[in-house]
Structure 1
């Protein structure tokens, strides 16, 4: 392998790890603010205000790159639909973040590529052979182990991150292979805009006052979210998705670490076992996707 290509792949992997760390940090800060109120409705206002800050950060970055073109950004109905599905996924995800152990949310969300494979077979007539079906079975078994239906220690809140994974899979199905002149950061901008408007409407339900500390944390959260988007784009520029995609699972590691050190959450053995099964399942599917050449860098954000 040429040295330059190897260096780019290492850089792409590093960017992916930084992106996942940034997203996880943003989510942890949202959970921290939520715990000060312990009301689900406050999530609407948190995500709305965070979204405004994030749009400013991304907008500045796009302007610096001379890519802030509103006509282009708002020219695709499919990208607007993508944003709506992302918003629905965010509802499930943040309810999970609020009510479940931090690591568990990331583990259950990791079911997305497994659901995507299932949907592809059922709705797009994609040919899925026994190896990928075996991976799907392993993944769903892992979910059952994580949930532990015999105890249901956290009630039925596990449904919400699973719904989030389903909406993310539908998002990727309906926007698969979009032919667009948008770059990845412009896609991130319009997605963030739709999500912000969505939660802005929901936040009308009830208004909350944030103190100075909470306001600063919210701004920092938006910074890390923007950082995550930017490094996701840098990942795409540096290396092929087929090289970096497996490192998305580092989000589970960050979830475990944040849960343990900041929220006093210690995952039980069934959580670790289920997580390993889901990751193995996802890796099998990713390896198969590599073989089939079904990765598209331009639509990965």
Structure 2
């Protein structure tokens, strides 16, 4: 009887894990649609205004991320104010830079640079957390940067502010993840989410004082799509992390590249040449290799890469616990 019970429990756990992975794929698809909404606006709305409105809609995710024991003031409470404020700044920087990147660059190219996030996390973890990083992870970092050089081909093609902003967006998200690791289990997820959300609202709101563009009804639809889909993606990602281990929830993020290529071809007349395709493959391989090494070491995994950089913290607390709840 105990054997039958154990088998049933194992089968149920397997089904839950599979559902969690499928929900993770769904969440990253939702993030890709959110990012496509930015590009559809074609830069007619200032980037800081798009980030501000997106953060306003991002408040819709708070009731789902908030646990019963959490208070609303926990969004601004913290065990380490300097690191919370750094997360505040990174949230605003990442959101604004990601909007600029998706506005100015082909979606696949923007994602290729944002996918440097795992490499940035490795470098920052060595510098600030004194993590022991061995040759396998350094190999992954080098492959990632080689892939970026192949994609960008500096000296052979013109680079823009969009490329710089995509790299800064990935770096800002990486700093946020290192902050999460440094704080450990002392910080509530709702506090980390609040830091990024309020950072984007306040910094973008301040920048909006110089210029505000009144969106048309159609533009409001895409602004709402950007913000609400970003919030919905965070909720789905949290749900996935509760159903499956974090080491299975993180890798599906690279499916966003397939969505980016599809959107680029169908909606924005983007094209990918052979060198860019090779560079993208190297960057994705670098990220997957990093995830594999960190899974083996039991290190909290870098999470979602998206224009909505709050995604990187949607499952923060679950990862601190070492996997799905």
**TM-score between the two structures when normalised by the length of structure 1:** 0.89
The answer to whether the Cα contact below 8 Å between 2:93 and 2:172 also exists between their aligned partners in 1 is yes
Counterpart in the other structure of 2:305: none
* Superposition pairs of residues 258-297 of structure 1, within 5 angstroms: 258-295=263-300
Task: Return the alpha-carbon distance in structure 1 between the equivalents of residues 20 and 181 of structure 2.
Answer: 22
Mind listing any 5+ residue stretches in structure 2 that lack a counterpart? 1-6, 302-315, 321-325
- The CA deviation string for residues 261-292 of structure 1, in whole angstroms up to 9 with x for no partner, is 11111122112111111111111111111111
SS at match of 1:176: helix
Task: Return the alpha-carbon distance in structure 2 between the equivalents of residues 175 and 287 of structure 1.
Answer: 20
The answer to whether the Cα contact below 8 Å between 1:34 and 1:98 also exists between their aligned partners in 2 is yes
The answer to whether the Cα contact below 8 Å between 1:59 and 1:68 also exists between their aligned partners in 2 is no
Paired positions, count:
294
The answer to whether the Cα contact below 8 Å between 2:101 and 2:163 also exists between their aligned partners in 1 is yes
RMSD: 2.4
Task: Return the alpha-carbon distance in structure 2 between the equivalents of residues 230 and 209 of structure 1.
Answer: 29
Task: Return the alpha-carbon distance in structure 2 between the equivalents of residues 89 and 155 of structure 1.
Answer: 17
**TM-score between the two structures when normalised by the length of structure 2:** 0.82
Counterpart in the other structure of 1:27: 35
Residues 138 and 81 of structure 1: is their aligned pair in 2 closer, same or farther, counting only changes over 3 Å? same
**Structure 1 position 34, deviation (Å):** 3.5
**Structure 1 position 192, deviation (Å):** 2.0
Mind listing any 5+ residue stretches in structure 1 that lack a counterpart? none
**Structure 1 position 69, deviation (Å):** 2.3
Residue 226 of structure 1 pairs with residue 231 of structure 2:
yes
Task: Return the alpha-carbon distance in structure 2 between the equivalents of residues 159 and 49 of structure 1.
Answer: 23
Residues 243 and 124 of structure 1: is their aligned pair in 2 closer, same or farther, counting only changes over 3 Å? same
Out of 7, 16, 20, the residue aligned to residue 24 of structure 2 is 16
**Structure 1 position 60, deviation (Å):** 5.0
**Range that drifts further, 170-179 or 129-138:** 170-179
Counterpart in the other structure of 1:158: 163
SS at match of 1:34: coil
**Structure 1 position 93, deviation (Å):** 1.7
Task: Return the alpha-carbon distance in structure 1 between the equivalents of residues 162 and 216 of structure 2.
Answer: 29
**Range that drifts further, 118-127 or 193-202:** 118-127
The answer to whether the Cα contact below 8 Å between 1:80 and 1:191 also exists between their aligned partners in 2 is no
Task: Return the alpha-carbon distance in structure 2 between the equivalents of residues 162 and 180 of structure 1.
Answer: 30
Residues 171 and 269 of structure 1: is their aligned pair in 2 closer, same or farther, counting only changes over 3 Å? same
